[in-house]
Amino acid sequence: MSENTSTLENPDQPTAAPEDADPNEVLFTDFNLDGRVLAALTDVGYEKPSPIQAATIPLLLEGRDVVGLAQTGTGKTAAFAIPALSRMAELPATKSTQILVLAPTRELALQVAEAFSSYAAHMDNFTVLPVYGGSPYGPQLNGLRRGAQVVVGTPGRVIDHIEKGSLDLSQLQYMVLDEADEMLRMGFADEVDQILSRTPAEKQVALFSATMPPAIRKIAKKYLNNPAEISVKSKTSTGSNIRQRYVQVMGAHKVDALTRILEVEQYEGVLTFVRTKIATEELADKLKARGYRAAAINGDIPQAQRERTIEALRDGKIDVLVATDVAARGLDVERITHVVNYDIPHDTESYVHRIGRTGRAGRTGDAILFMTPREKYLLRAIEKATRQNVELMNLPSVDVVNNNRLQKFSERITQTMESEDLSIFRDLVEKYEADHSVTAVEIAAALAVMAQGGQKLLMEELPQAPAKQARLAKGDRDGFSSRGPTRTLTEGNATYRIAVGRRHRVMPGSIVGAIANEGGLTSSQIGGIDIRADHSLVELPADLSKDQWRALSKTRIGGELIQLELDKGRKPRSEGGGGGGGFKKDFKKREGFKKDFKKGDSYGARKPRHQS
Ligand code: ADP
Ligand code: MG
């Protein structure tokens, strides 16, 4: 089977097609699934089966052997787990092992076990046990002794347990070879063969794989009984008018990452995709709380209301729409400049559909994908499907965000002066100036604070992952702060000196802004900034071009020529007096932050790091 929806559908297609518009649409409720399994699917928030699930679940429920081929990330786990659990649920309760899944790695075994547990959440006295090599036998033996209806294991360790007599497969009903191609690539052919030959003849077998090399065909022929072969192919391409980027970010930091991106990207309408209906509401609420004009659409929201929401997006009454795949199908709103894949889509086909919601009517569009390091393997598949590069995007730094906020604030002042009648307030300010003998600047500053209505204008610090905070704190104790900034330079960067410092009232934001604009650098190329009394040190690429040098030598900040030069290792001056620590600390934070990104680490990943 292959999904025959084309990629960029009719540009003249009307607004969001309602999901009930497609009579061929399959829902989980269309299958004869056990009620407890269905309830669990509602809990995890899956809206509808993925193509491989839609094709294989009915066959597996019937008891057929199945070979399921679909690329990574298409939901193959649920394709075999849901029917397996549903069938078990109908059998008399037992403690013996009924389902055995073989997976190539410990990581995958754990993932599959986790998925099984979540789909079995409503089944009482039901145990899913992962068994894998490289960890002590004790807990696994105990688990097996207590009884586990589902065992998910790596082939080597499963054989060990069979041989030890700790894994009894005599009651096995259902056997799955998951990621079969990977299992063979890892050299488990013999083990898989052995395990299969030691299982009861009467059982159902499912084999899932991304590809079908001859070795797998051989296994399928030998151990599967007249299997149905299901292959879900994706045939997709995207318009090259869409720029694709990805950001590495862990779940807990996604909201922050999104708002930071929204602070600096030039957007009109943003369509943000999440995986579940609940998540649409949750994210829209969080964005609203942060001052964005956001709304959610999902399959539970009545059609009429969904249409009103889409109309509001079209009219510019809202800017950020948070949607599920189903609710956003066919959405055609020219104003969508950005598609954010907040949750990674479950196949490349959905990805292509999602990003096709921008770049409409001959315009260009931006697609931004959030992914965890675990999901990074999906990038290649996406690049292949879209025949286009997906660039790494660094999250905008605090300085860049703040620079932007200052600029926007200034713009608001200009606009107000141009469009509003100021006379009453002008009189008030004049009177206040005379009565209190303060300058108009001070009054304006006070009014600006009032205009902010209690909100801080500038972002203060980078949200740090706990691990990172600990590391920074450790750095302090290690005397990190006494080292010159060059000690922690990112590879390929150098430290430059500019002739403006605290005396000139420069802020990191104005330095980033000036250097980025004049030197044609991206903000991500600008590293740590250390503002000192009468000069500052800035980390920039070591290989600035002649043009960049020329442009930067003419650059002014606050009216002063910056006189860019390479810092020749002058001893950092001792700052003396008070107030010196703030920026230094700031520098260090930037430094740590950027270094992490440069290394391709993820924002917030808890990864042990060498202490330099
Ligand atoms: P594969 O084994 O094909 O690489 P997985 O089974 O690991 O893919 O699924 C990829 C992701 O898709 C998982 O995070 C899973 O929770 C999610 N997923 C699976 N089925 C659905 C569905 N019907 N709706 C939404 N998300 C799903
Ligand atoms: Mg899988």
**If pLDDT is split at 50, 70 and 90, which confidence band does 71 have?**
confident
- Output the CA 109–ligand 2 centroid distance in Å: 9
Q: Which atom of ligand 1 is nearest to the CA of 47?
A: 24
pLDDT, averaged across the chain: 80
pLDDT for position 461: 58
pLDDT at 395: 83
Q: Is the pLDDT of residue 589 over 80?
A: no
Alpha-carbon distance values, 46 to 27, 49, 242, 279 (Å): 10, 7, 28, 11
Residue closest via CA to ligand 1's atom 18 equals 75
Distance from the alpha carbon of residue 115 to the mean position of ligand 1, in angstroms: 9
CA distance 543 to 136: 52
Beta carbons within 8 Å of 417's beta carbon, 6+ residues apart: none
Q: Please give the pLDDT value at position 347.
A: 82
Residue of minimum CA distance from atom 1 in ligand 1: 73
Q: Per residue in 386-428, pLDDT tens? A: 878 888 888 887 878 888 888 888 888 998 998 889 999 999 9
Q: In 10 A of CB 569, how many CB atoms?
A: 9
- DSSP annotation of 21: G
Q: What is the pLDDT of residue 339?
A: 95
pLDDT at 484: 30
* In the chain, ranges of CATH 3.30.70.330 domains: 467-566
DSSP states along 544-608 = --HHHHHHHHT-EETTEE---EE---PPPPP--SSS-HHHHHHHHHHHHHHHHHHTT--BT----
Average the pLDDT over 357-368 and give the result. Answer: 81
Q: Is 519 in the pocket of ligand 1 (CB under 6 A)?
A: no
Outline which parts of the chain fall under CATH 3.40.50.300. Answer: 5-231, 242-392
Residue 57 beta carbon below 6 angstroms from any ligand 1 atom: no
The model's pLDDT over 302-357, given as tens digits with 9 standing for 90+, comes to: 888 988 999 999 999 999 999 998 888 778 888 999 999 999 987 888 888 888 88
| pLDDT tens, position by position, 189-229 | 888 999 999 999 999 999 999 888 888 888 999 999 999 99
Q: Which of 346, 350, 371, 382 to mutate to test the pocket of ligand 1 (most atoms within 8 A of CB)?
A: 346
* 351 touches ligand 1 (CB under 6 Å): no
Q: What pLDDT shows up at residue 605? A: 34
Question: Ligand 1: distance of its center to the CA of 379 in Å?
Answer: 16
Distance 516 CA to ligand 2 centre (A): 43
Check residue 178 and give its pLDDT: 96
Whether ligand 1 lies within 6 angstroms of the CB of 253 is answered as no
Ligand with smallest separation from the Cα of 114: 1
pLDDT digit string, tens, across residues 485-503: 333 566 777 888 999 888 8
Q: Which atom of ligand 1 is nearest to the CA of 52?
A: 3
- Residue 76 Cβ inside 6 Å of ligand 1? The answer reads yes
Residues 6+ apart with CB under 8 A from 313: 269, 295, 319, 321, 333, 335, 336
Q: From edge to edge, which strands make up the β-sheet containing 128-131?
A: 128-131, 150-153, 99-102, 174-177, 204-209, 66-70, 228-232
**For residue 134, is pLDDT > 70?**
yes
Is residue 107 a contact partner of residue 152, using CB atoms and an 8 Å limit?
A: no
Ligand at shortest distance from the CA of 324 = 1
Which ligand number lies closest to the CA of residue 79?
1
> Which atom of ligand 1 lies nearest, measured to the CA of 210?
3
Q: How far is the CA of 456 from the centre of ligand 1 (A)?
A: 40
Atom of ligand 1 nearest to the CA of 44: 16
Query: In angstroms, how far is CA 448 from the centroid of its own chain?
Result: 36
Higher pLDDT, 266 or 175: 175
Q: Which CATH number fits domain 5-231: 3.40.190.170, 3.40.50.300, 1.10.10.60, 3.30.70.890?
A: 3.40.50.300
Q: Which fold has domain 467-566?
A: Alpha-Beta Plaits (3.30.70)
Determine the distance separating the centroid of ligand 1 and the alpha carbon of 345, expressed in angstroms. Answer: 9
- Asked if residues 350 and 325 have their Cβ atoms less than 8 Å apart, the reply is yes
Tokens 């072969």 correspond to what residue?
229
Q: How far is the CA of 50 from the centre of ligand 1 (A)?
A: 8
Angle between helices 137-146 and 155-164 (to 10 degrees): 60
CB 506 within 8 A of CB 499: no
Which ligand neighbours the alpha carbon of 77 most closely?
A: 1
As assigned by CATH, the class of the 242-392 domain is alpha beta
- Ligand 1 geometric centre to CA of 267 (Å): 30
Tell me, in angstroms, the distance from the centre of ligand 1 to residue 37's CA: 16
Is the Cβ atom of 28 under 6 angstroms away from ligand 1? no
Name the residue at shortest CA distance from atom 13 of ligand 1.
Answer: 75
Regarding the beta carbon of 536 and ligand 1, being less than 6 Å apart is answered: no
- Which percentage of the chain shows pLDDT scores above 90? 41
